Amino acid sequence: MHGSAQATRTAAAVVVLVALAALGWSALSTTSARVSATTENAGNVFRSGTIDVSTSAPQPYLFDATGLYPGEVVQTCVEVAYTGSVGADVRLYGAVTGGSGLERFAILRLELGANSGPDCEGFDADSVLWDGTLAQLVADHPNYPSALVLIPESVSGDTVWLRASATIADDDDAQGRDTEFWLVLEARP
């Protein structure tokens, strides 16, 4: 009886091995029978766009005025042009960088329009962008997100004339003061 139990176990082991071999062969034959195909998508390209804003200002600043007094108005006109290939908002913001506090008394008026030259002759105002003190302008608009919009959703070739006028408030405390500031024109998509 001992021999037949051994033979039964050996036969069972052979059956298991044959079954495993059959399963392995089945898996291999299925894998090797796989069909495949590929396709190619040639000619892909990435190109970056451009963002470019410029002015017609002959110098890098709008104002360089001394000896100002109440009632005297200094003004300048510049053409702002957007020539980028990506649509963008052109905005204006600024900051006071030095001086003795004249920004509190400097009244600045910024107007958008057309048909002008640097001397502002023939300027045709469409809208007032800002009318208030320089101090309030830089407090309200210190960066791009808060900036004044000159050209919304501009496309290449969009232009606008900006007339900047300044005077000094009629206040004795304005005497003998000065201010240094910058204004930035920036375009972003």
CA angle 168, 174, 179 (to 5 degrees): 75
Condensed to tens digits (0 to 9), the pLDDT of residues 28-53 reads 555 555 788 889 999 999 999 999 99
Condensed to tens digits (0 to 9), the pLDDT of residues 64-75 reads 888 899 989 999
Higher pLDDT, 117 or 76: 76
Condensed to tens digits (0 to 9), the pLDDT of residues 140-163 reads 999 999 999 999 999 999 999 999
Question: Which 8-state DSSP code applies to residue 178?
Answer: -
Global model pTM greater than 0.85: no
3-state helix, strand, coil split of the chain in percent (to 5) is 25, 40, 35
On average, the pLDDT of the chain sits at: 87
pLDDT > 90 fraction of the chain, expressed in percent and rounded: 66
CA angle 91, 92, 96 (to 5 degrees): 155
Of the CA atoms within 13 Å of residue 55, those in its CB half-sphere come to 22
Burial of 162 (0-12, 13-18, 19+ CB in 10 A): buried
pLDDT for 10 = 61
Higher pLDDT, 106 or 27: 106
Measure CA 129 to chain center: 20
pLDDT-derived band of residue 135, with 50, 70 and 90 as boundaries? Answer: very high
pLDDT for 162 = 95
